[in-house]
Structure 1
């Protein structure tokens, strides 16, 4: 719970924090945690005395912007999470690192071999 509330974990947990923030499934975990924050609002919307279509429309009006903001702020949240735990905030996930290396290799092949 301390981790989810933004508190620093002991240094012995740094490997776990890196795996949680950048390892396989990190996007799924991030969006699940973000969605859980909106569950109380959704329950209140379902308890309102109104037709079902009004409740569903209200839920959609709350959920869609929430998903957009969660997606837009994902990288900032992960950088802050890593920095709060005393880690390099620019650690890349395995997929991001592989894509970065692939692009660097294409660039080297396309532009750098001409300089010689």
Structure 2
């Protein structure tokens, strides 16, 4: 895989996934991540990685086997739907947080 200039590395990507701001040296990578083709799928994939530990904790709740399966799946489905619906606003917020101009809207 080709690395983009300003790639934050594994720890920087974890910080980015958690919603923290990256240093100015990573601005080109952030711009690519949020404006290049496939930005929605990358955002959803990051969210799935963030939700896996939460779903694992939910699976440990007491109850019958179907509770251990359905509660984490419902939490994951609901959060993915929320991220998919608000993806444009989330992207705008991250772009502003990193001091990058928003791309023009195509109507």
Give the TM-score of the pair, scaled to structure 2.
Answer: 0.70
Task: Give the equivalent residue in structure 2 for 1:14.
Answer: 27
**Of Structure 1 and Structure 2, which has the larger fraction of its residues in helix?**
1
Deviation at 1:64, TM superposition (A): 2.0
Q: Secondary structure at the match of 1:37?
A: helix
Q: Work out the CA distance in 1 between the residues paired with 2:62 and 2:27.
A: 48
Structure 1 unaligned residues grouped into runs of 5+: 104-116
Q: How does 1:1-116 map to 2 (within 5 A)?
A: 1=12, 2-4=15-17, 5-10=19-24, 12-88=25-101, 90-91=102-103, 100=106
Structure 1 runs of 4+ with >6 Å offset: none
Give the TM-score of the pair, scaled to structure 1.
Answer: 0.66
Pairs aligned (count): 93
Please tell me the root mean square deviation across aligned C-alpha atoms, in Å.
2.2
